[in-house]
Amino acid sequence: MNYDLFIGDQLFSSWSMRGWLMLEKFGIPHRTHMIGLYSGTMAADMAPLAPARLVPTLRTAAGTVVGESLAMAETLAEENPDAGLWPSDPAARAAARWLCAEMVAGFGALRGECPMQLLHCYEGFEPSPETRIDLERIETLWAHARSVSGATTGPLFGTYSLADVFYTPVAARIIGYGLPVSEANRSYCLELLSDLSVRQWRAMGLTKTYDPFPYPVDLPTSAWPIASHKAKAVEATSGENTHCPYSGKPVQDFLELDGQIWGLCNSFCRDKTVADPEAWPAFVEMIGAR
């Protein structure tokens, strides 16, 4: 069974990130299609999926179009019962559904004041009282999840579930704006953002540049805390390898890493690798074998 997932720009579309993770993290086959959130083509791009009008949107193998993230999650869990999207324990499963539903319906102050962006971290951001209330509620919900599951660290319910998927963009906001949470919850946020799939999502987003930046904040910035920035794109005609580690096709675009030149089959493969070389197992395996 193969799904079609329609998403927006990776650096900014928090809901698209949720949709992608609920397929990617649970090994559910899918094809990804980009919708032009910032290019002015969104309405035309979404027209074939009507009445869906927002990203992410899912189309099942049977051709059924499903809008809204929570509906997508339930559809995927129903059609893929062995994938483990929800916790297996009934009490944990009920709590996970509760956390996801409240995420969908709430936290308007946090979302409005701190739009998700995965480019850098802001220094000196001061959240409003309303956003602080949202953060306190999130920490209360996370504490409840851990009281139900007994998991003191790692995924909220012991094993990775849709609850962790739904709160990954929240983690990005907490880290990206330096929002006040407990050290334990900050560690949980960093753990979510260190996940290989999340790093790949961000790296793909970094292949595109934006001028102007969609959600500017007039504050100093520091580097995103999870990534490798040791690579750079270079002009070359040959490198250490002759075929792309991702596609197997002949190389034509090149990067430099630790003084060595490596080739990829196109500029997207090169740029996503430049953004975070260690996020891509096929690339890591290739350079490790040399």
Domain CATH for 66: 3.40.30.10
Structure tokens at 12: 């900014």
Decide if 193 contacts 172 (C-beta within 8 A): yes
For tokens 């193969």, the residue is 2
Q: Where are the beta strands (DSSP E) in the chain?
A: 3-7, 30-34, 57-59, 65-67, 120-122, 221-223, 231-234, 253-257, 260-264
Residues 261 and 166 both lie in one domain = no
Residue 220 lies in a domain: no
Residue 53 lies in a domain: yes
Query: Along the 290 residues of the chain, how does pLDDT read in single tens digits?
Result: 699 999 999 999 999 999 999 999 999 999 999 999 988 899 999 999 999 999 999 999 999 999 999 999 999 999 999 999 999 999 999 999 999 999 999 999 999 999 999 999 999 999 999 999 999 999 999 999 999 999 999 999 999 999 999 999 999 999 999 999 999 999 999 999 999 999 999 999 999 999 888 999 999 999 999 987 789 999 999 999 999 999 999 999 999 999 999 999 999 999 999 999 999 999 999 999 87
Residue 224 lies in a domain: no
The C-alpha atoms of residue 239 and residue 227 are separated, in whole angstroms, by 24
Domain boundary among 79, 108, 142: 79
DSSP, collapsed to helix, strand or coil, labels residue 65 as strand
Give the total number of structural domains in the chain: 3
The C-alpha atoms of residue 22 and residue 28 are separated, in whole angstroms, by 8
Domain boundary among 59, 79, 99: 79
Q: Which domain holds residue 266?
A: 231-288
For tokens 């969609």, the residue is 214
Structure tokens at 261: 């030149």
Q: Which residues fall within 8 angstroms of residue 164, CB to CB, at 6 or more apart?
A: 155, 156, 192
Specify the pairing of strand 3-7 against strand 30-34: parallel
Domain boundary among 199, 217, 251: 199
Strand partners, 222: 121
Residues 103 and 194 both lie in one domain = yes
